[in-house]
Amino acid sequence: MMSKSVVLIEGDGIGPEVADATRRVLDACQLGLEWVPARAGVAALDAGDSSVLPEATLDAIREHGIALKGPCTTPIGSGFTSVNVGLRKSLDLYGAVRPVRSMPGVTTRYDNVDLVIVRENTEGLYAGIEHTVTEGVVTSLKVATRSACRRIADFAFDYAEKRGRNKVSAFHKANIMKLSDGLFLEEAKKVAEEYPSIEYEEVIIDAGCMRMVKDPSQFDVVLCENLYGDIMSDLCAGLVGGLGVTPGANHGLVGSIFEAVHGSAPDIAGQDKANPLALLMSGVMLLRHLGDTRGYTDCAQAADRVRNAYNACLEAGECTGDLGGSLTTTGFADAVIARLG
């Protein structure tokens, strides 16, 4: 059986605080997790690295196959590329998963949200292939390959089946981008035929956005190419209270990274007031992954314990200020640990 080693990238800004809170909660489950520290973002530069994504960090993820990542800052206007983009490209993290659900104690206009965005992470317009044709004229190339379309469709339906989900909705704009989005739908249809127990539908992205905000309960797993998935992930987060209450994961063949997708909030760094919930929820996803892929049933069971504990905290109003509570970052971690049972 593989080890329980996990690369821990604290990040910067509020990253070290929310990462420490998450690590404390997971350690309280007494699972024997082995944390392997690594750096990225401004924290890497401050430590003397020449890159916001050191090769040593990439090597650690390749070696251990799993990482928990706090928010990382990419310096603006200084020639550095995004840490997140760098991780996805370097490790071919092609499948992004963003669960979105209504949280107890978090009041929004919706109370019935429970869906998952599955996003292709490596191509589309985010391939970043741009060209200046002439002065004032720029083109951007949207890339779609059959292999990438196939593997993200495979990923989405496999995820739906394993998680007991009943429907996959492919969001697209194939009525306009007939070749690129058309290829995406071709592969999704083929995979759908292999999963007859899962309902499949195709939804034009603009109509899908309207349907989503009218009644998100009609969706289950939403399958998107890169740009659409990025937009839908944040749109859906807004339905349940924002990025502070939504976890994230990026999966590839050589490893998986679980992360909070909110920013590093340097304005409140070091004040013990940041909400660690999003990273803690990502930590729950990490525990389930250890159970699913490495056979650690204790981790899968602990995932339920942690989720039940932070749900109970939210219901009791034991939360940080951004959610209407009065707890500090440390205090919230303590409250969750106290409810682990």
Q: Which residues are catalytic?
A: 126, 173, 206, 230, 234
Alpha carbons 133 and 114: distance in angstroms, whole number:
45
Quote the Cα angle for 91-97-102, to 5°: 155
Distances (CA, A) of 214 to 109, 209, 211, 239, 337: 11, 9, 5, 11, 37
The torsion defined by the Cα of 25, 29, 30 and 36, in degrees rounded to 10, comes to: -40
Alpha carbons 61 and 43: distance in angstroms, whole number:
17
Beta bridge partners of 234: none
User: What would the two tokens of residue 339 be?
Assistant: 């409810």
Alpha carbons 107 and 91: distance in angstroms, whole number:
37
Q: Strand 221-224 relative to strand 114-120: parallel, antiparallel, unpaired?
A: parallel
> Judging by beta carbons within 10 Å of its beta carbon (0-12, 13-18, 19+), is residue 16 exposed, middle or buried?
middle
